[in-house]
Amino acid sequence: MAKLTEEQVANYQRDGFILIENAVPADMLSQLQRVTHELIDQSRSVTQNNEIYDLDKGHCNENPRLNRIKAPHDVHPVYKEYLRSQSLVELIQPLLGDNIRMNNSKLNAKAAQGGAPVEWHQDWSFYPHTNDDLLAVGVMLSDIGDDDGPLQMIPGSHKEPVLSHFNNGVYCGAIQPDDEAARLKDAVSITGSAGSLSIHHVRTTHGSAPNLGENPRLLLLYELAAADAWPISGALSAFSGMGQQALWDYFNNNMVCGAQSTTPRLRDVPAVMPLPPPTDASSIFQTQSSGGAKSAFDST
Ligand SMILES: O=C(O)CCC(=O)C(=O)O
């Protein structure tokens, strides 16, 4: 896979997202798929959410149903291997520069026939930084069609005001579905075959409906930041209460390319702290449900 073209960069800047088909080399894709299916299989004996798994309703030994594998880069080295591969780095450097840090990874394994929606939100509301040179790469590890709960994006929303993600004064990690400023009617679905990937800006409004398909919808997400984008205090909760040394080690251990910066680049960006928090902020699914987010995807 070659570098992004100028046209792809311009489309990302205009829309706040792009889709790149067949981006993952075939041998890497099959390794990622094999390991992911092994991890889903290993979740059979798990009975409640833990450090690795966020379980969907109905999960059991006979029928493993996952919302998410929480930080796959910590669970198996193949996820970091792909992240640092030339084929991926060449796609993100034109957008974030030469010094790039991974803040987190997650694998949203929206279970077949009803797997949970992700309500509309801007990632920025979860973790404001000193500048907004952050994005998420979404790697499709399964074919994702319209019925499979694909990511949906609102073109141009990354340049618009940051929307409220609060319910009754508490952060709920989702916008109000009837917020007209969200322009939800303009949504574009990001569908493609396994091995395709999307890149979306941290301020792009996005969400996804339940998976009505026959198979889990497997989307590996890397949250990436320019190394001089520093999380604003309080967003450090995103790194689960680490001390300063642990944070420094985490940042250095998770560099994708180049070097970590200790000089935050400050830009005039709209930021609202995700506080007060909901009762359970352990993942976006818990944040949205315990925060009482209203569902845009309620099928009833
Ligand atoms: O998996 C999805 O469909 C959406 C994921 C997402 O937006 C998130 O985890 O922040």
Q: Domain extents for the chain?
A: 6-290
Q: Which residues of 154-181 are buried (b: 16+ CB within 10 A; e: fewer)?
A: bbebbebebbbbbbeebbbbbbbbeeee
Closest ligand 1 atom, residue 150 Cα: 3
116 touches ligand 1 (CB under 6 Å): no
CB of 67 shorter than 6 A to ligand 1: no
What amino acid is encoded at 149 in this protein? G
Of 151, 129, 114, 83, residue with least CA distance to 266: 129
Q: Is 108 in the pocket of ligand 1 (CB under 6 A)?
A: yes
Given this model, what pLDDT does residue 167 score?
96
Tell me which residue has tokens 């091995």.
195
Q: Which residues does 208 contact at the CB level (< 8 Å), separation at least 6?
A: 110, 117, 118, 149, 150, 151, 152, 297
Q: Pick from 144, 284, 297 the residue to mutate for probing ligand 1's pocket: most ligand atoms within 8 Å of its CB.
A: 284
Asked whether 175 lines ligand 1 (CB < 6 A), one says no
Instruction: Answer yes or no: are the C-beta atoms of 211 and 114 closer than 8 Å.
Output: yes
**Biggest alpha carbon–alpha carbon distance for the chain:** 51
Give the model's pLDDT for residue 115: 93
* 6-290: CATH architecture: Sandwich (2.60)
- What are the backbone angles phi and psi of residue 149, rounded to the nearest 5°? 70, 50
Q: What is the pLDDT of residue 299?
A: 55
What is residue 237's predicted lDDT score, i.e. its pLDDT? 47
- Share the mean pLDDT of the chain: 94
Please give the pLDDT value at position 245. Answer: 78
Residue 299: CB atoms within 10 Å = 9
Q: Whose CA is nearest to atom 7 of ligand 1?
A: 207
Q: Please indicate whether residue 151, judged by its CB atom, sits closer than 6 Å to ligand 1.
A: yes
Q: What is the pLDDT of residue 300?
A: 45
Shortest-distance atom of ligand 1 to CA 208: 3
Which residue in this structure is represented by tokens 């989307």? 219
Q: How far apart are CA 77 and CA 72, in angstroms?
A: 8
Q: Is 107 in the pocket of ligand 1 (CB under 6 A)?
A: no
* Regions in the chain scoring below 70 on pLDDT: 1, 233-242, 299-300
